[in-house]
Structure 1
């Protein structure tokens, strides 16, 4: 299990300000990256290895340029 002690969450720049789809990411963890719904900060979250997260972000950027 990922230790979230000291996690610093930041809201995605792609999230709207109207209370809609909001994602927060904590990248300052020892080994993993955590992602959660900002509207439910005590709810479930996803964790990824730093390598998997970097790959995901790179793929999302490529897809964004392709559309």
Structure 2
């Protein structure tokens, strides 16, 4: 049995997310990864990205928006 405590994550929504519902994600960072979850299903599946992978993803999003 593990005696480690679960990591307390501070989740936040994008500043583009409104209060109308819709499809939003929340993001949290810890030492090991950047984590992403559905804002309406906190207990559901989560994705985890290395910091390098997340940086590449966000950089590519910025490139797509400038086209």
User: Which TM-score bucket, shorter chain as reference?
Assistant: 0.7 to 0.9
Where structure 1 has 5 or more consecutive residues not aligned to the other structure, the ranges are: none
Match of 2:12 in 1: 10
Q: In angstroms, what is the RMSD of aligned CA positions?
A: 1.6
Match of 1:22 in 2: 24
Paired with 1:42 and 1:65, the residues of 2 have a C-alpha distance of: 35
Match of 2:40 in 1: 39
Where structure 2 has 5 or more consecutive residues not aligned to the other structure, the ranges are: none
Q: 1:5, CA displacement in angstroms? A: 1.0
| Number of aligned positions between the proteins | 63
TM-score normalized with structure 1 length: 0.85
